Chain A
Amino acid sequence: MRRVAILGAGMVPFGKYPGKTLSEIAWPAVKAAIEDSNIPKKTIEAAYCGTALGGMMSGQRILKTLGITGLPIINIENACSSSSTAFREAWIAVAAGVYDVVVVIGVEKLTKFGGGTLPLEKEDFEVAHGLVMPALYAMRARRYMHEFGLTEDHLAKVSVKARNHGKHNPDAQLREPTTVEEVNRSRPVADPLKLFHCCPSGDGAAAVLICAEDVASKYGGVPINVVGSEINSGKYMTGFRDMTSPEITVRGAAQLYEEAGIGPEDIDLAEVHDAFSIAELLYYEALGFCPRGEAGRLIDEGETSVGGRIPVNPSGGLLAKGHPIGATGVAQIVEIVRQLRGQCGDRQVEDAKVGLTHCTGGGVSGFDHGVCSIHLFSR
Chain B
Amino acid sequence: MADSVQELKQALNITGDAMVEKSDGSVRLVGSKCSACGDWIFPPTPVCPECMSESVERRELSEIGCLYSWSVVRIAPKNWKTPFVAGYVDFPEKVRVFAHMVDIDPECLSFDMKLSVCKAVVGQDADGTQIESYSFLPAEGRN
- Partner-B contacts on A (CB < 8 A): 116-117, 119, 122-132, 134-135, 138-140, 142-143, 146, 187-193, 236, 238-241, 243, 365
Q: How far is the CB of B111 from chain A (nearest CB, A)?
A: 5
CB < 8 Å neighbour of B71 from A123, A138, A240 = A138
CA distance A377 to B49 in the complex (A): 37
Nearest A residue to B71 via CB reads A138
| Interface secondary structure of A, over-half rule | loop
Is B2's CB within 8 Å of the partner chain A? no
Q: Is A146 touching B111 in the complex (CB atoms < 8 A)?
A: yes
Q: Is B11 touching A127 in the complex (CB atoms < 8 A)?
A: yes
Interface centre among B7, B73, B87, B111 (most CB of A within 10 A): B73
Interface range on chain B (Cβ under 8 Å from partner): 35 or more
Q: Is B73 touching A138 in the complex (CB atoms < 8 A)?
A: yes
Instruction: Report how many A-B pairs have Cβ atoms within 8 Å.
Output: 109
Q: Is A128 touching B8 in the complex (CB atoms < 8 A)?
A: yes
Complex contacts, A128 vs chain B, CB 8 Å: 4, 7-8, 10-12
Complex contacts, B90 vs chain A, CB 8 Å: 240
Q: How far is the CB of A143 from chain B (nearest CB, A)?
A: 4
Complex contacts, B10 vs chain A, CB 8 Å: 123, 128
Complex contacts, B68 vs chain A, CB 8 Å: 139, 143, 240, 243
CA distance A124 to B40 in the complex (A): 18
Q: How far is the CB of B117 from chain A (nearest CB, A)?
A: 14
Q: Is B96 touching A129 in the complex (CB atoms < 8 A)?
A: no
Q: Is B12 touching A190 in the complex (CB atoms < 8 A)?
A: no
Complex contacts, A123 vs chain B, CB 8 Å: 7, 10-11
Q: Is B98 touching A129 in the complex (CB atoms < 8 A)?
A: yes
- Partner-A contacts on B (CB < 8 A): 4, 7-8, 10-12, 18, 39-43, 49, 68-77, 80, 84, 86-88, 90, 94-96, 98-100, 106, 111, 122-123, 133
Q: Is A129 touching B133 in the complex (CB atoms < 8 A)?
A: yes
A sample of 4 more A-B contacts (CB under 8 A), given A127-B11, A128-B12, is A128-B11, A187-B74, A238-B40, A239-B96
Complex contacts, B111 vs chain A, CB 8 Å: 143, 146
Complex contacts, A189 vs chain B, CB 8 Å: 74-75
Q: How far is the CB of B4 from chain A (nearest CB, A)?
A: 8
Nearest B residue to A192 via CB reads B71
Q: How far is the CB of B10 from chain A (nearest CB, A)?
A: 6
In the complex with contacts A122-B11, A125-B12, A239-B96, A130-B72 CB distance below 8 A: no
Q: Is B49 touching A132 in the complex (CB atoms < 8 A)?
A: no
In the complex with contacts A126-B98, A129-B133, A238-B42, A134-B77 CB distance below 8 A: no
Q: Is A129 touching B8 in the complex (CB atoms < 8 A)?
A: yes
CA distance A191 to B74 in the complex (A): 8
17 A-B pairs (CB sep. < 8 Å):
A122-B7, A122-B11, A123-B7, A125-B18, A125-B98, A128-B10, A129-B100, A132-B73, A143-B111, A146-B111, A189-B74, A191-B72, A192-B71, A193-B71, A238-B49, A239-B40, A239-B95
Complex contacts, A139 vs chain B, CB 8 Å: 68-71, 87-88
Q: How far is the CB of A190 from chain B (nearest CB, A)?
A: 5
Interface centre among B8, B71, B96 (most CB of A within 10 A): B71
Q: How far is the CB of A319 from chain B (nearest CB, A)?
A: 17
